[in-house]
Chain A
Amino acid sequence: MIKGNFIDNLPKVYGIYTGGFLGFIIIMSIAEQMGMTAKTIGICFVAFTVAIYAIIGYLSRTAQADAYYVAGRQVPTVFNGMATAADWMSGASFVAMAGGIYFKGYGYMALLVGWTGGYVLVASLLAPYLRKFGCYTVPDFIGTRYGGNLSRFMAVVVLTVASFTYVTAQINATGTIASVALDIPFQYAVYVGLISILLCSMLGGMRGVTWTQVAQYIVLIIAYLLPVFWISNKMGAGFFPHFMLADEVSRIAELEAQFGFVKNSAENLKEVPKGLAGITKAHSAVNATPWAFISLALAMMMGTASLPHVMMRYFTTPSVKAARKSVGWSLFFIFLLYSSAPMLATLSKLSLIDPSLPTGIIGKSIAEVQSIDWYQNWNQANLMFVSDFNGNGTLELNEFFMGGKAVVLATPEIAGLPYVISGLVAAGGMAAAMSTADGLILAIANAISHDVYYKIIDPKAETAKRLVVARVLLVVIGFAGATIAALEIQGILGSVIWAFDFAMSGLFFPLVLGVWWKRANKEGAIAGMFLGLVSGAAYLVWVRTGGSGFLGITQLTFGIFGSAVSLVAMVVVSLMTQAPNAATQKMVDEVRIPAGKSILGKQH
């Protein structure tokens, strides 16, 4: 059936895989009809998909540096787009995004705009040039362009701070899903999640991660879109929700006006379990100031262009041309999910609050709501809560509370879809969190093994030894991440946003100016990375410890301050010190044209 080169057969291989996965969903739904329990279905979905990823990881094992670090630079454009989309869309995008839109409306949508608009910066400012450079890692570019071990080391530091903040959130998310689906305590589930993650990346490095990420994208996009379309059709809202929910959106606005947003007293709110929230913001109206919206979007866009685990995906394409196109495909595949999240939030909200729908609970008596099956299930899972604050016996809009995750996890059940869909959603969430965690752990381990160990400590190390070091680091970083994740310090979404701010504080301008400003030199870059990261972190600490902040920059957008400091420091210090030498200037000229050899050789 499959003959010849693996790369040539990719469409066929993943076509069969997708068919097989759809077949598996059908088998599971038949099993449900025949009486398989919800719990068994959940376990089957998670176990089956993780086993497939592990097999792909094993088949991709390699002993070559080129394959381990950049997947042999032969990943075709469209498949690299899928892998990047999976790499990009984390547990937060999958599980928390629709919930954020549901609760916060317009103010939260800045994240959608920011997390997509950033790819324009990636495509136009950086990706093709870094691909031409031929580096293995992002610090590899900084270290070679600016020269010297200190600049390389600073880049590794920024990368590690940003990626590590991000990865604990992802391991946390895999743990949450594994603990629900497999019904085991969270502190063990975190390690189950970690082992699944390492199975994908240990043996094959970037090659293994690439081919599992493509497989994970297929699972997660099916798991996201199928319920959205199904619910929309079942509610009679329209067979293609993206184009047909205008009536539903205006109906929500109408209901909001009718119910009003009643503010609860602090005393009443004390009763509500931690992490749950009520609907307090308008669904489709503009509820944030322009600067609040724009500053958050801007921080996310610049952060996108500085996050190394995304950038390094474009090192794996066969050519510069392919790297550019691949960014477009990445964003297309991301768009499929991101444009569906607001639709899911709309459907979810309307089905809960519209009294004229059979699923609507607002306006029903409290006792009636408390006796609904799905309410009891989700109340037990600590994701839903009602309370009769005003004592009138009926449920008001301000008396209903839900966790952000419930929008994705519970809506299928509320809408009356079979349990097989909930199992599918669990598998999708697992795929989203695993694929991002893999990319991040690999980014950190590769930077330390390639840039610190090989380039700084032991430049004579043989390939075999380098790859052993890389793998040991992978395991160590994974366990460190899991241990911190098990402590549950910061929520999933909060730490994701911080990671963007850290990355942009330290890396955005050193990367961009490295290509676009020939005069930028080593001293400037070091000052930019160091002062950017330190001032960004200091601002975060200041705001977190009661500081008032300035210019409306919050703890979610501190990267705007950090990167501004980084830019000023880099320009001033560069101009005060000597211009880069002729060889470096020539190197920048070379980077700017796609033709010719890459700056760094194939094996370096």
Chain B
Amino acid sequence: MSKQEQHWEKSKGLLMMTLAIWFVFSIGIFLFGAEMNEVTGPFGYPLTYWFTCQGSLGIFVILIFWFANRQEKIDEEFGFSERGDD
């Protein structure tokens, strides 16, 4: 496998992982919205309510930065990162 193919395999793996986490917090948990809302979540809010107004939103922010860092590492590993400016 060429260097470029390996790089793309790894990038695809990262994409799958990112999309899986995204799926859980944007779709998965809301399949059980009614049941989860019985539980008290962070700061004392009902759990599903908390996810809709802070939890999922905050997790998406962290997820994007995490993804960006991981992808940068993959690019560096194969020598495909850009030089110079940020």
Minimal beta-carbon separation of A338 from chain B (angstroms): 6
Contact indicator per residue, chain A 264-295, by CB within 8 Å of chain B (1) or not (0): 00000000000000000000111010100110
Q: Is the CB of A595 within 8 A of B56?
A: no
A-facing residues in B4-47 (Cβ within 8 Å): 4, 7-8, 11, 15, 18-19, 22, 25-27, 30-34, 37, 43-46
Interface of A is mostly: helix
- The interface centre, meaning the residue of B75, B82, B83 with most chain A CB atoms within 10 A of its CB, is B82
Minimal beta-carbon separation of A310 from chain B (angstroms): 14
Asked whether A106 and B82 contact (CB < 8 A) given A123-B64, A324-B71, A339-B58, the answer is: no
Please, how many angstroms separate the alpha-carbon atoms of A75 and B56 in the complex?
Answer: 29
- Picked from B37, B43, B71, B75, the residue with its CB within 8 Å of the CB of A595 is B75
Q: Which of the candidate stretches A58-66, A176-184, A219-227, A244-252 sits at the interface with the other chain?
A: A244-252
Asked whether A331 and B53 contact (CB < 8 A) given A243-B43, A286-B34, A593-B75, the answer is: no
Q: Is the CB of B33 within 8 A of A290?
A: yes
Q: Is the CB of A294 within 8 A of B57?
A: no
Asked whether A593 and B80 contact (CB < 8 A) given A117-B25, A325-B68, the answer is: yes
Q: Is the CB of A286 within 8 A of B33?
A: yes
Asked whether A109 and B52 contact (CB < 8 A) given A243-B43, A297-B26, A593-B80, the answer is: yes
- Tell me whether A135 is interfacial, beta carbon within 8 Å: no
Minimal beta-carbon separation of B61 from chain A (angstroms): 5
Minimal beta-carbon separation of B81 from chain A (angstroms): 6
Q: Is the CB of A120 within 8 A of B85?
A: no
Please, how many angstroms separate the alpha-carbon atoms of A249 and B4 in the complex?
Answer: 53
- The interface centre, meaning the residue of A120, A324, A338 with most chain B CB atoms within 10 A of its CB, is A120
- The interface centre, meaning the residue of B7, B51, B67, B84 with most chain A CB atoms within 10 A of its CB, is B67
Q: Is the CB of B26 within 8 A of A124?
A: no
In the complex, which residues of chain B have a beta carbon less than 8 angstroms from the beta carbon of A106? 33, 48-49, 52
- Tell me whether A77 is interfacial, beta carbon within 8 Å: yes
Q: Is the CB of A331 within 8 A of B27?
A: no
Minimal beta-carbon separation of A519 from chain B (angstroms): 15
Pick 22 A–B contacts, CB within 8 A, sort by A: A106-B52, A109-B53, A112-B53, A113-B26, A113-B51, A114-B26, A117-B22, A120-B63, A120-B67, A121-B22, A124-B15, A124-B18, A124-B67, A247-B44, A284-B37, A286-B33, A301-B26, A318-B85, A324-B64, A325-B68, A331-B60, A339-B58
- A120-B64, A286-B33, A286-B34 given. 8 additional CB < 8 A pairs? A106-B33, A106-B48, A106-B49, A113-B56, A294-B30, A320-B82, A321-B81, A331-B60
